[in-house]
Amino acid sequence: MRYVMKQDLISFGDDFTIKDDDGREVYTVDGKAFTLLREKLSFKDASGKELAFIRERLIAMTASYEILRNDEVAAVVKKDLINVFRVGFTVDVPGPDDLEATGSLLDHEYTFKRGSKTVATVSKKWFRLTDTYGVDIADGEDPVLILASAVVIDMICHADKKKTKKVDPKA
């Protein structure tokens, strides 16, 4: 199934609208106002029912977010520590079905894999002018988990861009 995920430009927090292939709004992500130390987001269906809740975890070594369903951790999305062989994110789910997201993460061109099997692709190539991208999810996969993970990756990558942005002293 293909989805179009677009970050809302005018909002408080990180808000997203997610539409299906037919252009129908199927999910929204409501970025709650920052608390003192943590960011929180609510992942809702088109009727406004909360399907998942995303919250930032406080871990000193790496950016990390929990995706909760029914007050239980469904996954932990964390940025991989610097590794010579790859750069990416791990989506740690209970049991043996962890996902890895690798590719050009800052350019929003990456894949989610479970082992060697690609379960979803994220691409911004058709949407260069806005924070909009296509997300193709393989049949039988959990769209809420994958889309919520893509939202987390977007937030972490944008935070990294802000942190690493260099200021030109001549400007």
The single-letter DSSP state of residue 21 is T
Tokens of 57: 């975890």
Of 85, 43, 38, give the one whose Cα is nearest residue 64.
38
The single-letter DSSP state of residue 32 is P
Task: Report the distance separating Cα 153 and Cα 137, nearest Å.
Answer: 16
Q: What is the pTM of this model?
A: 0.83
Of 116, 119, 115, give the one whose Cα is nearest residue 147.
119
The single-letter DSSP state of residue 48 is S
Within a domain: 99: yes
List, for residues 30-73, the tens digit of each pLDDT value: 876 544 445 688 999 999 999 999 998 876 566 789 999 999 99
Q: Is 98 helix (H, G, I), strand (E, B) or coil?
A: coil
The total number of structural domains in the chain stands at 1
Residue 35 sits in a domain whose CATH number is 2.40.160.200
Within a domain: 78: yes
List, for residues 128-149, the tens digit of each pLDDT value: 556 788 999 999 999 999 999 9
Domain residues for the domain of 149 are 2-163
